[in-house]
Amino acid sequence: MSTTRHLINRRRRLAAIAPFQERPERPERPERAGRAATVTRPRPARAAGPTIDAERGAAPGAEPKVETARRRSRPRPATVLTVALALLTVLLGGLAAWSAGKASALHDSVATGNSALTDTARTSEVKGTIAQAVNAVFSYNFADTARTDDAAKRVLTGQAVQQYATMLAQVRAQAPAQKLVLTTTVTDTGVELLDGDRARLLVFADQTNTSTAKSAAPAATTYAAAMFAVDAVHQDGTWKIATIDTFG
């Protein structure tokens, strides 16, 4: 009897404390467990360094390699400047060589074609002959015109014949009435070109014009300086004036 009561009392005590005991957790359904795992799973930490935007469509892991390749392929300012200076040096060196070659060629051609730079004897000859010719044809005496005419026929040729006649026409017209005496003296000559039988000279001369007419008593004398160029040709064993250039 005691045993039965003892069992009954034990069951009552168990029934009284049962509500306060922890209930075992029921297993969650698979779909809920999946969602919970998705939400609670920690995100992997991104690697430090520059990344590419998602809009570019590149994987974050590949981004640093792209940036590195760009940095390597992009030329540095110092490298660009060095290349530019090197190219400029080459161009200027080529230009200098070309200019030196052209200058040398021009100098050689002038020196070869212009004997005035090398043939001093022939240069002296043409200078002396032309100086005497200018003195003769540009000196005029109203009392002895034949002397000037003969000199003109002897030392003038080509266009110089008509040019000289035009230049001396006024002197010839006034000489008898004014009893005019014109004297020309060459003070210096310079040979600009001497090439074979052709030459060009620059002539400097002093001129004295004296009138002995009674209306001009006492005798009136004027002085003037002249500068002109002549082209000369070697004909009949002597140098003759082919053209007269008074520079307008």
> What pLDDT score was predicted for residue 70?
56
Q: What is the mean pLDDT of residues 5-21?
A: 69
Domain assignments of the chain as residue spans, ordered by start: 116-245
CA nearest neighbour of 182 among 162, 168, 202: 168
User: Tell me: the pLDDT tens digits for 37-46?
Assistant: 444 455 555 5
**What distance in Å separates the CA atoms of residue 52 and residue 64, rounded to the nearest whole number?**
8
> What pLDDT score was predicted for residue 78?
53
Please determine, for residue 179, whether its predicted confidence score (pLDDT) is greater than 70: yes
> What pLDDT score was predicted for residue 13?
74
**CATH assignment of 116-245, given 3.10.450.50, 1.10.260.40, 3.30.420.40, 3.30.70.100?**
3.10.450.50
User: Tell me: the pLDDT tens digits for 61-112?
Assistant: 555 555 555 555 555 555 555 555 555 555 545 545 555 555 454 444 445 5
> What pLDDT score was predicted for residue 36?
44
Q: What is the mean pLDDT of residues 46-68?
A: 50
Residue 157's pLDDT band, with cuts at 50, 70 and 90, is very high
> What pLDDT score was predicted for residue 3?
62
> What pLDDT score was predicted for residue 130?
98
Handedness of CA 171, 221, 247, 153 (dihedral sign): positive
**Average pLDDT, rounded, for the chain:** 75
Handedness of CA 124, 127, 133, 136 (dihedral sign): negative
C-alpha distances in Å from residue 222, one per residue of 7, 94, 186 = 174, 60, 17
Residue 182's pLDDT band, with cuts at 50, 70 and 90, is very high
Please determine, for residue 123, whether its predicted confidence score (pLDDT) is greater than 50: yes
